[in-house]
Homo-oligomer: A and B are copies of this chain.
Amino acid sequence: MSELGQASAEAVELLLSGDAVLWSIISVSFSVSLRAIAIATPIALFAAFTLAYTSFPGRRMLVTATNTLMAVPAVVIGLSVYLLLSRGGPFGDLRLLFTQSAMIIGQILLCLPLLIAMAHAAFQSGDQRAWETALTLGATRWRAMRTVMYEIRFGLLAAVIAAFGRIIAEVGCSMMVGGNILYHTRNIPTAIALETSKGAFSQGIALGMVLLGFALLLNVALGYAQGSGEIDR
């Protein structure tokens, strides 16, 4: 355990000294995952809204499918993306394999089911009168959708935070399609996996703490934005 303390101290020292390797790993992590979540969120919100507010044949089946897809292992998504992007695959000519773009694609696929399912739950628990009130006051369906989203923003934000947590911490898919290449596609989780495979557990945990530290910063910022989150209606 003292070894762990030492590794953490070293990690903090490296952080502060602006160590290029460490900072590149961190920036790959956050730049990839933030871009993935930025692309996935609007898609998921729209899909979840459609599932909750419209009625069409197969709607219920889609909900079940979304719930099921949450159980796809990251590495299977990684494999699938790999097979699609690999030179022999249908999108091999794009030369995306082992790039950040590939990681982003993988992470989008990874977080979509979670985002859709949780956003759907949030829409469902919302008050139908919000939708009706918006429409009757002259909002277009598009505006009314945004109004409803604003009303249930706590639930939606929780979904986005959960999805972000899933992809920022994910290793199987990033490893598979990113390749863990230093300065290019090595992010914190794949770096941790590497340290761990070397038996350098303390370094692994120290990296984990660095990740947590930055996630905390992000959450504190979001927390300020979202208000107290206590029930006081």
Contact = CB atoms under 8 A, between A and B. Distances in A.
A208 B79 contact: yes
Copies of this chain, whole number: 2
A126 B126 CA distance: 8
A20 interface: no
Nearest to A230: B55
Nearest to A213: B68
A68 B223 CA distance: 11
Interface residues of A, number: 75
Interface in A211-233: 211-212, 215-216, 219-220, 222-223, 228-231, 233
Contacts of A55: 230
A85 interface: no
Contacts of A83: 1, 4, 201, 205
Contact of A172 (B64, B114, B171, B188): B171
Given A73-B169, A125-B126, A212-B71, A223 B60 contact: yes
Interface stretch (A92-100, A101-109, A135-143, A152-160): A152-160
- Please report whether the interface of chain A is mostly helix, strand, loop or mixed according to DSSP: helix
A184 interface: no
A73 B122 contact: no
Contacts of A178: none
A44 interface: no
A59 interface: yes
Given A205-B76, A205-B80, A208-B76, A121 B176 contact: no
Q: Looking at A65, A161, A168, A228, which has the most chain B CB atoms within 10 Å of its CB?
A: A161
B165 A79 contact: no
A79 B201 contact: yes
Contact of A52 (B60, B162, B231): B231
Contacts of A193: 75, 172
Contacts of A222: 67
Q: Count chain B CB atoms within 10 A of each CB in A52, A165, A176, A212 and give the residue with the most.
A: A165
Nearest to A60: B228
Closest CB pairs A-B (n = 9): A70-B165, A76-B208, A121-B158, A71-B215, A73-B169, A71-B165, A125-B125, A68-B216, A67-B219
